[in-house]
Amino acid sequence: MAQLHDSSQFSISKQQLFPQEEMLEIKKKRKELTIGIPKENWEFENRVCITPQAVQLLSDNGHKILFESGAGDGSNYSDLEYSEVGAEIISDKKRIFKSEIVLKVSPFNNKEIELLDDNRTVISALHISSQSKEQIYGLMKKRVKAIAFEYIKNESSHYPIVRSMSEIAGKLSINIASEYLSKQHGGKGVLLGGITGISPAEVVIIGAGTTAEHAAYAAHGLGAMIKVFDYSIYKLRDFQRNMRQQVFTSVIQPQALAKALKSADVVIGAMDIDEKTDKFVITENMVQQMKKGTIIIDLNSDSGSCFESSKPTTYKNPAYIKFGVVHYCVRNIASRTARTASIALSNVLTPILLKIGDEGGITKLLKTDRGIRNGAYIFNGILTSQSLGIKFGIRSKDINLLMAAF
């Protein structure tokens, strides 16, 4: 007697087969979104979240884009470029902030939070070190769903926006170092890579993550001598393997690091320091021992610098001299190449916006997408970020538990 391999559509009762109803898949109800892109509130932020090409893709999928006039100027995208692909150009900022989703680069300030309607979705950078309790409470009162660029993960559990901006910052740091070594910028007049018969400049990199790797790639391409320091031997091994060429690496030891700093021409800080500690990798005493005219490029001046002598600067006054050493400590260094950075942001954010529409809204996407859910720090007015809760003394809840109720 032949065996029945699939009896999912039948029930068996006393050796008789009866047909059963087949369950059909319920089609997801797609949602058309209204997305607002306001002009950035900070004068030194030149990036924009989505490019005209992304707007065309979103418009073709039925979504409405409200674009504040001039929002793309910093990245050299004109209003006309956006309007030609379906965006509605608006001068009324209030209308932008009434959109279902408000998307911007820099964190929302108090004035912008006031403009938001209740129950909106806001997506932007968080910059936890610069947040205030007032701003967090303001967003909570508006009962928003807030998602931070820094915490969004992809399918590989990487942070795509952080990674993209880190790549840009790493490569830019070497360009900036080369500029400030030149006589035109008050430097020693040293060529970073040297020439035949003349030693190249020495570049010391603190950290062995993505930013450090791309700084090392750029420095190596120009012919500089590179030394990399990190606390983790495992990170240094990964760094060495990814570089695919021999580079001087060392676990951070005060004596070895101090010796390298004394001969360095450029020192790049590419390591995040835990804000709970007051320990600096490079103390002021170490900086005083450096050669006059050495260039320090601090890529984390506002989020736990590894230099004791560092303080955040802006593009208006990007560098200052302390102990005879030039300090370049601009906070949003990726904005220096705003167009490239904007394209990188758009490449990550556009698929997310399409998924929100395809899933039928942000709540449904948060339930199914663990990477996007990781980026949420407020859900319907409830704080879901433990680190923000600890910082401001606000009770937080696990978003994974909240999702079970929605």
Domains contained in the chain, CATH given: 34-151+337-403 (3.40.50.720), 166-331 (3.40.50.720)
Task: Provide the sign of the torsion angle of the four alpha carbons 143, 147, 301, 320, taken in this order.
Answer: negative
Contact between 314 and 342 under an 8 Å Cβ cutoff? The reply is no
Give which of 295, 363, 352, 355 is closest to 323, Cα–Cα.
Answer: 295
With a CB cutoff of 8 Å and minimum separation 6, the contacts of 324 are 290, 292, 293
Q: Give pLDDT tens digits along the chain (406 positions).
A: 444 444 445 445 555 555 556 555 555 678 899 999 999 988 889 999 999 999 999 999 999 999 999 999 999 999 999 999 999 999 999 999 999 999 999 999 999 999 999 999 999 999 888 889 999 999 999 999 999 999 999 998 899 999 999 999 999 999 999 999 998 887 888 999 989 999 999 999 999 999 999 999 999 999 999 999 999 999 999 999 998 888 899 999 999 999 999 999 999 999 876 544 457 899 999 999 999 999 999 998 877 789 999 999 998 899 999 999 999 999 889 999 999 999 999 999 999 999 999 999 999 999 999 999 999 999 999 999 999 999 999 999 999 988 877 7
Q: Would you call 14 helix, strand, or coil by DSSP? A: coil
pTM exceeds 0.95 for this model: no
117 is catalytic: no
Place of tokens 């949003």: 332
Distance of CA 322 to the CA centre of its chain: 29
Angstrom distances, CA of residue 61 to CA of 33, 45, 81, 316, 362: 10, 29, 18, 41, 16
Three-point CA angle 159, 209, 306, nearest 5°: 110
Contact between 152 and 161 under an 8 Å Cβ cutoff? The reply is yes
Give which of 348, 346, 403 is closest to 380, Cα–Cα.
Answer: 403
How far apart are the two ends of the chain, measured CA to CA in Å? 50
Q: Is 199 exposed, middle or buried (0-12, 13-18, 19+ CB in 10 A)?
A: exposed
In 123-253, alpha helices (H): 133-141, 160-181, 210-221, 233-243
- Could you say which of 127, 220, 272, 358 is catalytic? 127
Q: What integer pLDDT is reported at residue 27 of this predicted model?
A: 58
With a CB cutoff of 8 Å and minimum separation 6, the contacts of 382 are 140, 396, 397, 402
For residue 263, count other CB atoms closer than 10 A to its CB.
13
Region for 222 from its dihedrals, namely left if φ exceeds 0, alpha if ψ lies in -120 to 50, beta otherwise: alpha
Contact between 124 and 45 under an 8 Å Cβ cutoff? The reply is no
Place of tokens 């910082």: 391
- Could you say which of 73, 238, 302, 358 is catalytic? 302
Q: φ and ψ at 91, to 5 degrees? A: -100, -15
Provide the residue count of the chain. Answer: 406
Q: What integer pLDDT is reported at residue 16 of this predicted model?
A: 59
Contact between 392 and 163 under an 8 Å Cβ cutoff? The reply is no
398 is catalytic: no
Cα 40 to Cα 49: distance, rounded to the nearest angstrom = 10
